[in-house]
Structures are given as structure tokens and as C-alpha cells.
A and B are shown apart, each in its own frame.
Chain A
Amino acid sequence: MVGTFIITWRETIEAALIVGILLTYLNKIGQSNQFRFVYWGALGGVLASLVFAGLSDYLSVFFQDIGEDIFETVILFLATVVLTHMVIWMHHNAREIKGALQHEAELAITKNRLWALGTLAFVGVFREGVETVLFLWGLFLQSGGTPFAAPPVIGGLLGIGLGVLMTWLFFKGFGHLDLRPFFRVSGIILLFMAAGMLSSGIGKLVAVGLVPPLVEPIWNTSWFLSERSFLGSLVAGIFGYRSSPSLVQALFYLLYFPITLIWLRRQRHDFAQ
């Protein structure tokens, strides 16, 4: 029961973090009436996870062996781009607002950006959702006739509940920060998440043999932080931490930051005009 509790708890925190940042951000720029885009995105992510996990047999015919990994990689790369774009846009807005005026400011937000927010919420949930659904469904099947009385199933559901509650409380506390410090913290979290998604995607391509690992592993830091520990698995899920990464994964992770900074500079130019 404790084991299943921890797995769903972890996955839920990973998914809820993105949703929480998006909602808090909208709230801070005076656009809380647009929450529905994020909710729809998150709900869509849950539904898509159910469908994707449920269509197991059908999908295997289409995807064969490695197709599903390639599909997940495409999702991860898409998420990296959308996430980066959002951070750059949020960064621009945070610069616009001068401290005291923040609460009066109602920044205009275009339909395009709202869809981007919805897409991010969708991807954030979907990314963790398929695995969680497959896991919980397995527990249901194993529990025999009385799934809702079985400790592992209860543990799994409690994990989801606590994950949502904790993230909610976290952003309650976070909500007192002004926009600029909030942005600085969440922007950094989101950029590391994006770098992690990029390198996870590359890792999937390496695992199915489509991308050469170059050198693998380049180091081993499992003595310091192992993915099997709770903290390690959380850091792995959120920031893409790997204790024994391949060189190609590490390169993409590290190159992501300078490339994004260059993009950030150019965008700042465009916004200013």
C-alpha cells in the first residue's frame, strides 16, 4: 500500500506542478477568469491518458515495438518548445510590470497564448497520466473482486489526492510572492523542466537504438542521488535527473540553456518593437 501510494503521489506532484504554476501565473496577471483554459487542458490530459492506456491492444498494432516511444518523444519535444515559449513570454510580462502597479495590471492575453497554456496543462498531465493509469489499472486487475477495498488501490488513490492537496497548499503559500520573484522561481523551475523533457526525449531515442549514445554512461552519481530513492525519483521526474546519463543526453541538457538565452534575447527585441 505504501509503495503504490508513493508512486501515484510522485506522478501527481510532477503533473500538478505545471498546472499550479500556470494557474498562479494567470491569477497574478489578473486573468483568473481564464482559468478554464488550464482546467480544460488538464482534464483533456486525464481523458487522453485514460484513452491511451485503455487502447493497449489497438495501439500495439499501429505502434508496433518502438512506435510508442517515438510518439512519447514527439510529445516531449513539443512540450519543450511550448514550455520555453511560455517562459519567454512570462519573462517579458514580468519586466513590463513595475512592482506596485502589479495588482492593478490586467495584462492582455491573446487567444494564442491561452491555447498555449491549455496545451501545456494537457502535456503536463498526459506525460505522467498514461503511466499512472496503467499502474492503477494493474492494481485494479490484481485486486480480484473488490478493487476499492484493496490496500494497494486505496494507497494509489490516496497518493493522487495527497499530491493534488500538497501542490495546492504549496501554491497557496507561493501566492503571496510578488509577480517578479514568483516568475523568477517558477521560470527557473520551468526551464529546468524543459531541459529535462528534451533530454528525456533524447534518452528514449537512445533506448530504442535510433540515436547513438556517444558515450554511455559518462558518469555515475547514484552514490549521491539514486533514482530509486523518493527524492531521486522526484528530481528525475521534474528536472530529468539521471544518475548515469549518456553523453548525448547531457549535451542536449546543457546546450538547451545557452540556446534558450539567445532566443530570449531575440524575443525581447521583438516584443520591444
Chain B
Amino acid sequence: MKRPATLQFGLVLGLGLWLLGTAAAEDGIQITIKDHRFSPSEVRVKADTKIKLIVTNDDQTAEEFESSSLNRERVVRAGQSITIFLPPLKLGSYDFYGDFHPDTAQGKIIAE
């Protein structure tokens, strides 16, 4: 009876992942990657408020959104979007960059 159980588990897991994916709402701060640059490269947000970033990669190549001060690191595949949740930020400036093109892909979030 082991196999049907595994199959069921797989199906439930797959369905769960799909639902979780579709459940993500569309509002949030949009950041677009184009020609290995972020636009806007400077994002102003309210301090002490939860933030949702939606990072869209319009390039033909993958990029990795990375920020050590924000403790976030996620790959964005070519032509796709990811959602990043950030905790309420204290006043200040937080750098982020594209780990695959760190020379050009740079930006910061300013909490004010």
C-alpha cells in the first residue's frame, strides 16, 4: 500500500504548492530588472510598515535579487516575477543588488 500513499502525498503537495502560488496578491512595490539594472533603483517606503516587493525580470537572463542588510536572496528567472516580503524597516537606507551582475544591478530601499 506504500505506492498509492506516496502518490497521494505527491498530488496533495503539488496542489498545495500551486494554490500557494496563485494566492499571492498582485499589489506591492514593483521593481523591474532591465539590461541588468533595477528600475526604480531607489525605492522610498514608510518606516515601520510591512512591505511587499514584486521583482520582475525583463531580461533574457536570470538575476539574483540579493541584500545582506535585508537578509534576502532570491533568484528571478528570465521573464518572471517573484514576491519578496520584508519586515517593518527602521529608518534608514538598505542596499540591494543583483548578484549575477553586481556592477550594474544596484539599488536601495529608503525607509522614512
Pair A70/B75 contact, Cβ less than 8 Å: no
Residues of B within 8 A of A194 (CB): none
Q: Chain B interface: which size bin?
A: 35 or more
Interface of B is mostly: mixed
Q: Which of B21, B69, B70, B74 contacts A67 (CB 8 A)?
A: B21
Pair B75/A131 contact, Cβ less than 8 Å: yes
Pair A228/B21 contact, Cβ less than 8 Å: no
Pair B69/A135 contact, Cβ less than 8 Å: no
Residues of B within 8 A of A134 (CB): 61-62, 75, 77, 100
Q: A131-145 toward B: CB 8 Å interface, digit per residue (1/0)?
A: 100110111011000
Q: Which of A137, A210, A232 contacts B62 (CB 8 A)?
A: A137
Residues of B within 8 A of A56 (CB): 62, 77-78, 80
Known: A134-B62, A134-B75. A65 touches B68 (CB 8 A): no
User: Nearest Cβ in chain B — how far from A239, in angstroms?
Assistant: 15
Residue A165 lies at the interface, judged by CB distance under 8 Å to chain B: no
Pair B20/A70 contact, Cβ less than 8 Å: yes
Interface of A is mostly: helix
Residue B71 lies at the interface, judged by CB distance under 8 Å to chain A: yes
Pair A138/B21 contact, Cβ less than 8 Å: no
Residues of A within 8 A of B66 (CB): 227
Known: A67-B17, A134-B77. A242 touches B71 (CB 8 A): yes
**4 A-B pairs with the lowest CB-CB distances in the bound complex, closest first:** A64-B21, A138-B61, A209-B85, A134-B62
Question: Can you list 22 contacts pairing A with B, beta carbon distance less than 8 Å?
Answer: A7-B99, A7-B100, A62-B14, A64-B20, A64-B24, A65-B24, A66-B82, A67-B18, A131-B64, A134-B77, A135-B62, A137-B61, A138-B60, A138-B61, A138-B100, A141-B60, A203-B71, A207-B72, A217-B69, A227-B66, A244-B68, A244-B71
- Give B residues with C-beta under 8 Å from A: 14, 17-18, 20-22, 24, 52, 60-64, 66, 68-75, 77-85, 87, 97, 99-100, 102-103
**Beyond known contacts A207-B73, A220-B69: 14 more, CB 8 A cutoff:** A3-B102, A56-B80, A63-B17, A64-B17, A65-B81, A71-B17, A130-B75, A138-B61, A138-B78, A217-B71, A242-B71, A243-B68, A243-B71, A246-B71
